[in-house]
């Protein structure tokens, strides 16, 4: 094992996570744009949802364009440009999208606004294709999924503060939000965002990030170097896993307000802290799952495993205290976090084992949510955020392991499957018309069941290729 590959390369990793922050910041800010556009352009509810549609479809379109160009060039685009140049290009594409907000606001054009958002997300698609495998490669493969988890924690920080900052920029202040919002007010925040994209592109270009990172190659009996990423079963099964994972993560949260309002009689204004707890649960889980990326010292890891989740939980309580929400209903949630810590310790840092354990607990949590009443069901469904939190990095690490030079192509196929968030949310909504909202969560149970199957299946596939996550192996070997 090469010594320089035995530790996380923080000097390279820290510049990289700035793009993870942006993805969260912009995606969560869309929730602020939807009501602004709805009022300004006099849209129906379904028309206002075109904001989300334009944003998430762009990931799939971006991945298709990427693969099309790679086929025409007979060479993988990222391998040709280099990882650093590809990241910078993705940021420049996103910056071009933000510039469209200026003429769109002047002309009062909703389609042009959507085009701007679409181009921003198109840039994100290329950034994600590069940044996810790069985060895994900046250190030993054993802690690759933990580094991706940590990057996800930074992404969640973006989702937490993005809506607050954007709504402050558009409405002037959070407390005295004026009713008559001019569409002109979105120009400045998005121009500033565009300048930030360009600044980060220059920053990353000048950083010490590797242009040709060392990626994991297969070495076992099934390790023949295959021409296409789609010839690797861990990737093809992993694409379905990403689709259903993003699906269960998004649909659990998006159907929760309707369940709490219709079935439990909550008023809409009282639901917000619970939705915020769901997304905070993602941060709690990711901070816990990232502990091994910081230190090899086992006793320090044990202490951090308890400190990290309760620190994240403390941030959630602090933010809600600032907004004068009643914190009393949330203290009991501290006990549920103990289940997360126990599951994290049982996984011993192995992404396949973690995916299996967390998926099974996810099924249990949803079943409790489906078959109990009142606050027990609310806490059970909210806790799904805890058990979804580290699944993206686990699936991503398992799916691209052993792909070697096909890694960036495989990564783009995984990014394409983010569309599962929109499709499975719609599917659960459709099912609920027949079953009622509480029982429509059976869709989430089926998603977790596939993830448990993938965790079991992929371990055997990778072992045949000479990859075993219980052995400490470095990023390149």
Express each pLDDT in 259-270 by its tens digit.
888 889 887 667
What was the pLDDT predicted at 477? 29
The 10 Å Cβ neighbour count of residue 477 is 14
The predicted model gives 73-83 an average pLDDT of 89
Mean pLDDT within 105-121: 93
Average pLDDT over residues 77-81: 89
Neighbours of 374 (CB within 10 A): 9
Please tell me the least confidently modeled range out of 7-11, 188-192, 243-247, 405-409: 7-11
Instruction: Please check the confidence at residue 79 and state whether its pLDDT lies above 70.
Output: yes
Using the predicted structure, report yes or no on whether residue 290 has a pLDDT greater than 50.
Answer: yes
pTM of the model: 0.81
Among 79-88, 101-110, 164-173, 449-458, which is the least confidently predicted range?
A: 164-173
Q: Over the stretch 381-404, which tens digit does the pLDDT of each residue have?
A: 999 999 999 999 999 999 999 898
The answer to whether 139 and 288 have CB atoms below 8 angstroms apart is no
Q: What is the pLDDT of residue 270?
A: 76
Express the helix, strand and coil content of the chain in percent, nearest 5 each.
Answer: 80, 0, 20
Between 225 and 460, the higher pLDDT residue: 460
Give pLDDT tens digits for 365-378. Answer: 999 999 999 999 99
Region 433-447: what's the mean pLDDT? 93
pLDDT at 344: 92
Asked if residue 475 has pLDDT above 50, the reply is no
Segment 157-164 shows an average pLDDT of: 73
Mean pLDDT computed over every residue of the chain: 85
In angstroms, the CA 245 to CA 414 distance is 11
Instruction: Report whether pLDDT(425) > 60.
Output: yes
Segment 80-94 mean pLDDT: 94
Is the pLDDT score of 4 beyond 50? no
Confidence of residue 471 (pLDDT cuts 50, 70, 90): low
- Worst-scoring range by mean pLDDT, 2-6, 36-40, 183-187, 421-425? 2-6
pLDDT digits (tens, 9 = 90+) for 344-366: 999 988 899 999 999 999 999 99
Amino acid 161: pLDDT: 72
The pLDDT of residue 187 is above 70: yes
Q: How many CB atoms are closer than 10 A to CB 12?
A: 18
Q: Is the dihedral of CA 163, 187, 121, 213 positive or negative?
A: negative
DSSP string of 44-59?
Answer: -HHHHTHHHHHHHHHH
8 A C-beta contact, residue 455 and residue 353: yes
Task: Show the CA angle centred on residue 358, arms to residues 354 and 359, nearest 5°.
Answer: 115
* Position with higher pLDDT, 87 vs 165: 87
- pLDDT for 172: 62
Would you place residue 256 in the very low, low, confident or very high pLDDT band (cuts 50, 70, 90)?
A: confident
Show contacts of 292-299: CB within 8 Å, 24+ apart.
292/142, 292/143, 292/146, 292/349, 293/8, 293/139, 293/143, 293/146, 293/147, 293/149, 293/150, 294/8, 296/7
Whether the Cβ atoms of residue 455 and residue 359 lie closer than 8 Å to each other: yes
Residue 169 pLDDT? 77
User: For residue 176, what pLDDT is reported?
Assistant: 42
Residue 469 pLDDT exceeds 90: no
Percent of the chain surpassing pLDDT 70:
90
Q: Residue 403: helix, strand or coil by DSSP?
A: strand
443 with 424: CB under 8 angstroms? yes
175: confidence class by pLDDT, cuts 50, 70, 90? very low
Q: Which residues contact 71 (CB under 8 A, 6 or more apart)?
A: none
């Amino acid at each position: 094992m090469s010594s320089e590959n035995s530790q996380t390369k923080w000097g390279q990793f820290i510049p990289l996570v700035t793009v993870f922050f942006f993805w969260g910041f912009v995606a969560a800010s869309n929730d602020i744009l939807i009501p602004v556009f709805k009022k300004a352009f006099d849209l129906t509810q379904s028309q206002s949802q075109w904001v989300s549609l334009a944003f998430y479809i762009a990931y799939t379109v971006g991945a298709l364009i990427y693969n099309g160009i790679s086929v025409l060039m007979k060479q993988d685009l990222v391998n040709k440009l280099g990882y650093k140049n590809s990241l910078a290009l993705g940021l420049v594409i996103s910056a071009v999208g933000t510039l469209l907000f200026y003429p769109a606001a002047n002309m009062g054009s909703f389609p042009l606004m959507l085009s701007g958002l679409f181009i921003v997300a198109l840039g994100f698609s290329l950034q994600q294709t590069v940044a996810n495998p790069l985060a895994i490669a900046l250190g030993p493969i054993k802690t690759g999924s933990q580094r991706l988890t940590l990057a996800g924690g930074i992404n969640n920080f973006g989702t937490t503060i993005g809506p607050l900052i954007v709504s402050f920029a558009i409405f002037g202040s959070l407390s005295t939000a004026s009713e008559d919002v001019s569409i002109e007010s979105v120009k400045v925040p998005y121009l500033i965002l565009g300048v930030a994209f360009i600044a980060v592109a220059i920053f990353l270009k000048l950083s010490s990030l590797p242009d040709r990172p060392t990626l994991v190659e297969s070495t076992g009996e099934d390790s023949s170097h295959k021409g296409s990423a789609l010839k690797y079963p861990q990737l093809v099964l992993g694409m379905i896993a990403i689709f259903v994972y993003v699906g269960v993560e998004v649909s659990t949260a998006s159907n929760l307000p309707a369940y709490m309002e219709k079935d439990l009689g909550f008023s809409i204004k009282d639901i917000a802290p619970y939705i915020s707890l769901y997304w905070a649960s993602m941060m709690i889980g990711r901070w816990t799952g990232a502990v091994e990326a910081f230190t090899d010292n086992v006793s320090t890891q044990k202490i951090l495993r308890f400190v990290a989740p309760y620190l994240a939980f403390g941030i959630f309580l602090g933010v809600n205290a600032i907004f004068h929400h009643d914190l009393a209903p949330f203290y009991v949630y501290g006990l549920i976090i103990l289940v997360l810590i126990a599951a994290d310790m049982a996984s011993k840092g192995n992404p396949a084992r973690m995916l299996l354990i967390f998926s099974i607990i996810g099924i249990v949590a949803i079943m409790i949510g489906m078959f109990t009443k009142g606050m027990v069901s609310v806490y059970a469904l909210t806790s799904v955020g805890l058990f979804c939190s580290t699944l993206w990095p686990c699936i991503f690490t398992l799916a691209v392991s052993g792909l070697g030079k096909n890694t960036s192509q495989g990564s783009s196929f995984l990014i394409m499957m983010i569309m599962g968030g929109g499709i499975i949310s719609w599917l659960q909504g459709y099912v609920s018309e027949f079953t009622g909202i509480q029982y429509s969560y059976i869709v989430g149970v089926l998603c977790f069941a596939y993830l448990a199957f993938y965790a079991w299946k992929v371990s055997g596939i990778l072992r045949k290729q000479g990859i075993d996550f219980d052995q400490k192996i470095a990023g390149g070997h």
